[in-house]
Every structure is written in structure tokens, then in C-alpha cells.
Structure 1
Amino acid sequence: MDEMGLVLFAVAAFAGGFVSGFSGFAMGLVVSGVWLHIITPVQTAALIAGYGLLTQGYGILKLRQALSWRAIWPLSLGTTIGIPTGVVLLTYLSPVHLRFGVGTLLALYAIYSLARPAFKPMKIGIMADIAIGLVNGLVGGLTGLGGIVSTISCQWRGWTKDVQRGVFQPVLFAAFVVISISMGITGAFTSETVKLYGLGLPFLLAGLWSGFRVYGKIDDEMFRKAVLALLLLAGLSLIVPPLVSGGA
């Protein structure tokens, strides 16, 4: 990697940390747009998994007073089952068409939700939460966007921003644990990847701290809109590449 590549790598790490600190998710979405141009896809995936454990762990620590284990465990259980299932299904389904379909649904949901007031709070039971977690894991295994469905479900409940993050961040942490173990088994964490991890770590931490500072200054409605904007970006990230390449 040349000097310009190192600068881009560090800037992306800071931006990813900032977005994670501010919203609680989407770090991988931000960094992959840059890193995939300067390091390998395997290194990018391994770094996102490794940094994801750090960003979500930091978020859990900062919001520990808002944690609700009653809401966390069903979503986490479904997610840990859904991720490997989704990865297996990739061998039988068209990833291009699948990602395009999921991306379209995400974009439509985000646009609709941004154009109207917040949903009336819903009450969701344990079995429904396990099912939501399963879908969350499936989507993560099929598209690489873990935590999207659980994040959306937290918005449906009308919780405050702290309570939402106190639930979907532990679920994301569980997802990153499963992903990291899987990648470790496949040998994705090489010495070169560990060096890159150390290189980007201070920039990621600086971004994470800065993002949390901004998060503390916004209200629940602004947080809702920020999450929806990131969900729209996530949807577009799945829709645009197939259109550009003509694969959809």
C-alpha cells in the first residue's frame, strides 16, 4: 500500500468509527466503500469483523444503563442461528438478485419512513423477536449487512435512542462474534491483517469517540432520521453495483 493508500485507509477508519459512535451501526458500510479499492475483500471483511467487536463493545459499555436483556437475548439467539444459515443459502441462491431485492426493500422502507412521522409503538413478543433475529441473521449472512433488521425492529417499538442502541448493539456484537469465529476458522486473520488492524485502530477509536460526542447532542427524532438515512445508504449500496455492472 502506498502513502495515498495509507491516508485513505486511515480516513476511512476514522469515518467508520465516527458513524458507529454516532448511530451504533454502519461502520462496515462506510469503510468498505474505500477499503475494497486498496486492500483485498478478505482483509476488508476480517477488519470489519475485528473492528466491529470493538465498536459494538464500546457502545455496550457506554450505554450499559440502557441494556435490556429481555429484549436482547431473543434477537441475539435468532441472529446467531440465521447468519450461518444465510451463508449456506448463498450456495443455492443468486447473491446478485438477492442483494438487489433486499436493497430495494431497504431503500423503499427508508424513503417511506423518512416521509412520514414515526410509527406507532409496537409490542413484540419473545417468539416474534427470535423470528426477527433469524431474519436479521439471514440477511446478514446473505448480504453482509448484519444488524439491519434488528435495528429496524427497534425503531418500531418507539424506544428512546439509548434504549434502541442498548438492544441492537449487543445483537450486532453477537453477530460479529459469530462472523469472527467463522473467519478465524477459515484463516482470514493473517499477520498482514493484524498489522492493518493496528494501523487503523487509533483512527477508528478517535472517530468512535467523536461520534459518541455528537450522538449525545441529538434528540430521539434526529436519531430516527439519521438511522433511516443510513438504512437508505445501505439499500443503495446493494442496488447500485448490480445496476452499474448490468448484473441485475
Structure 2
Amino acid sequence: MDGPILALFVLSTFVGGMVNGLAGFAMGLVVSGVWLHILTPAQTAALICGYGILVQSYSIWKMRHALNLRTLAPFIGGGLFGVPIGAVLLGYIKPDFVRDGVGVLLIAYSSYFLIRPHVHSVKPSLPADVTVGFVNGILGGMTGLTGPVITIWCQLRGLRKDEQRAVFQPVILAAFVLTAISLTANGTVTFDLMRVYLYGLPALGAGLWVGLKLYGHLNEDTFRKVVLVLLMLSGLVLVFG
């Protein structure tokens, strides 16, 4: 990378880290719009996973007081089956149809709940949680988006902001780890890419720190709206990206 491109990469990495610190997800949404113009799709996916593992691990550590392994197990278990199935389905289903369909649903969901002031909580159940984890894994395997389904479910459950992040961030982390293993095995991760990865680490750390500081000042309603706006942006990227 030459100077201007490297500066653009570092700046986008900082913004991506900040958004992840603030909302707990959507780093890939922020950075891919820039990185796909200077890196290959496979390299972009690998860097998102590599950085995502770091930022999610650190954020989960900060939220450790809210973690509940019994709550997490159904989502992660369902996702472990869903991710490889989603990857296999790519060979049989046109991904554009999936991306457009999911994008429209995200836009409709976020628009409705941004306008509607109150959300009636749904009752949790083990079959529902496993199914949500499974569907979330399939979507992640097909599109690389491992956050929207589980994030929506956490909102519908009526969880508080720390409780939401203590659920959807570990689930996203597990999907990142699975993806990173497969990308490493197929040779996407090279020494040159590792060098680029190291260039972005300071900016990532600084952005994450700023985002977490901002998160500490959000009340429950503002956090809900931030998540809904990011879900809408995810949908717009899927449909028009």
C-alpha cells in the first residue's frame, strides 16, 4: 500500500473499531465499503474476521459481568451447524436473492421499530433460541453477516443493552472464529496480509476505546435506536451494495 491508500485503510479501521465499540457489531459494514476498493473480497473478509476476533473478545471481556453461558449455549450451538450449511447452500442458491431478501427484511424491521416507540417482549424458549442461532449461522455462512438475526432477537427479547451485547457479541465471535479457520485453511491469510493487519491494529484499538467510552453514555432507548439504524444500514448495503 502506498501512503494515501494506507492512510485511508487506517482511518476506516479506526471508524470501524469505534462503531463496534459503540454498538457491539457492524464493523464489517463500515470498513467493507472502503476496503473492497483497495483489497480483494477474500482479503477483506479475512481482515474483518481477524480484527473482529480482537474487538469482540475485548468487548466481551468488558461485558463479562452480564455473560450467562446457559443463555449463550443454544445460540452458539445452533450457529455451529448453521455456518457450514450456509456455506454449502451458496452452491445451490443465488446469493443475490438471499442478500436482497434479507436486506428488505432488515430495512422493514428497523424502519417499523424506529417509528414505533414500544417493543413488546417475546418469551424466550430453548427451541426458539437454537433456531435463531441456526438461522443466524446460515445467514453468516451465505453473506458474511453474523450480527443482524441474533441482534434482532435480543431486541425482541426485551433485554437491556448490556444483556444484549453479552448475547450477540459471543455469538458473532464464534462465527468469526469459524470463518477465520476456513480462510486460513484455504490460503487467504498470507504474510503480506498479516503485515496489512498489523498496520491497522493501533487505529483499531484507538477506535474501540473511543466507541466503548461513547457506549457508556448511552441510555437504553438511545442504544436501541443506534442498533436499529445500523441494522437499517446493513439492509441498505445488502440491497444496493
TM range (shorter): over 0.9
Unaligned runs of 5+ in 1: 242-248
User: 1:51-130 alignment to 2 at 5 Å?
Assistant: 51-130=51-130
CA distance in 1, matches of 2:80, 2:237: 24
CA distance in 1, matches of 2:26, 2:71: 21
Instruction: Determine whether 1:240 maps to 2:224.
Output: no
Match of 1:147 in 2: 147
1:17–1:27 contact (8 Å) kept in structure 2: yes
Deviations 1:163-206 (A, max 9, x none): 11011111111111111111111111100110011000000010
CA distance in 2, matches of 1:235, 1:95: 14
- For 2:32, give the aligned amino acid: S
CA distance in 2, matches of 1:117, 1:187: 48
Match of 2:17 in 1: 17
Match of 1:204 in 2: 204
1:137–1:147 contact (8 Å) kept in structure 2: no
Question: 1:97 Cα shift?
Answer: 1.5
- For 1:182, give the aligned amino acid: S
CA distance in 1, matches of 2:136, 2:147: 6
Q: TM-score, normalised by structure 2?
A: 0.98
Deviations 1:5-41 (A, max 9, x none): 1111001100110000000000011110100011111
1:100–1:239 contact (8 Å) kept in structure 2: yes
Question: 1:53 Cα shift?
Answer: 0.5
CA distance in 2, matches of 1:222, 1:171: 23
CA distance in 2, matches of 1:160, 1:212: 16
1:147–1:175 contact (8 Å) kept in structure 2: no
Question: 1:160 Cα shift?
Answer: 0.9
Question: 1:94 Cα shift?
Answer: 0.8
Deviations 1:80-122 (A, max 9, x none): 2111110100100111121111101111111011010231122
Post-superposition, which runs of at least 4 consecutive aligned residues in structure 1 deviate over 4 A? none
Match of 1:166 in 2: 166
Instruction: Determine whether 1:3 maps to 2:7.
Output: no
- For 1:170, give the aligned amino acid: P
Unaligned runs of 5+ in 2: none
CA distance in 2, matches of 1:172, 1:136: 9
Match of 1:193 in 2: 193
Deviations 1:31-67 (A, max 9, x none): 1010001111111110001111001101110000011
Q: TM-score, normalised by structure 1?
A: 0.95
Match of 1:138 in 2: 138
* 1:188 partner SS: coil
Match of 1:157 in 2: 157
CA distance in 2, matches of 1:3, 1:39: 15
Question: 1:2 Cα shift?
Answer: 2.0
Deviations 1:200-238 (A, max 9, x none): 000001000000000000101000000000000000001
CA distance in 2, matches of 1:108, 1:18: 26
Question: 1:127 Cα shift?
Answer: 1.6
Question: 1:147 Cα shift?
Answer: 2.0
Deviations 1:126-178 (A, max 9, x none): 12101000000111111111121011100011111001101111111111111
Cα root mean square deviation, aligned: 0.8
